[in-house]
């Protein structure tokens, strides 16, 4: 197998569409999940109608077959949703990584 890469597991909560036969780390270590995400942030005081329009347009782009195909080529999965859902994701990720930092006693350098 020299010169070949062997995938052992993916770190996402569910199996990857790109690698459906590769298990998740969580299948061996329940509760384990590490993934990256990208989102669009705007100033807090942006009027609601602008927020709603941006959200509508971003979700439409994520639903476009060409965009879905490109994201899949990159190993990504679109995660459309509402501004409230995105806010919850940010809060949940902040809490999760805050616990990791505290538990690991990580200090800024």
- Closest by alpha carbon to 37, among 80, 99, 82? 80
Task: Indicate the pLDDT class of residue 18, thresholds 50, 70 and 90.
Answer: confident
The backbone torsions φ and ψ at residue 98, rounded to the nearest 5 degrees and listed phi first, read: -65, -40
Alpha helices in the chain (DSSP H): 48-63, 65-73, 83-104
pLDDT in tens, 36-86: 999 999 999 999 999 999 999 999 999 999 999 999 888 888 999 999 999
Residue 10: CB atoms within 10 A of its CB come to: 21
Whole-structure pTM value: 0.79
SS3 108: coil
* pLDDT of 50: 97
């Amino acid at each position: 197998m020299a010169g070949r890469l062997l995938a052992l597991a993916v770190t996402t909560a569910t199996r990857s569409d790109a690698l459906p036969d590769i298990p998740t780390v969580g299948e061996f270590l329940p509760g384990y999940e590490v993934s990256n995400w990208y989102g669009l942030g705007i100033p807090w005081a942006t009027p609601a109608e602008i927020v709603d329009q941006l959200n509508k347009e971003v979700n439409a782009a994520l639903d476009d077959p060409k965009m879905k195909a490109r994201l899949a080529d990159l190993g990504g999965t679109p995660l459309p949703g509402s501004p409230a859902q995105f806010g919850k994701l940010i809060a949940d990720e902040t809490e999760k990584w805050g616990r990791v930092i505290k538990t690991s006693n990580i200090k800024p350098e």
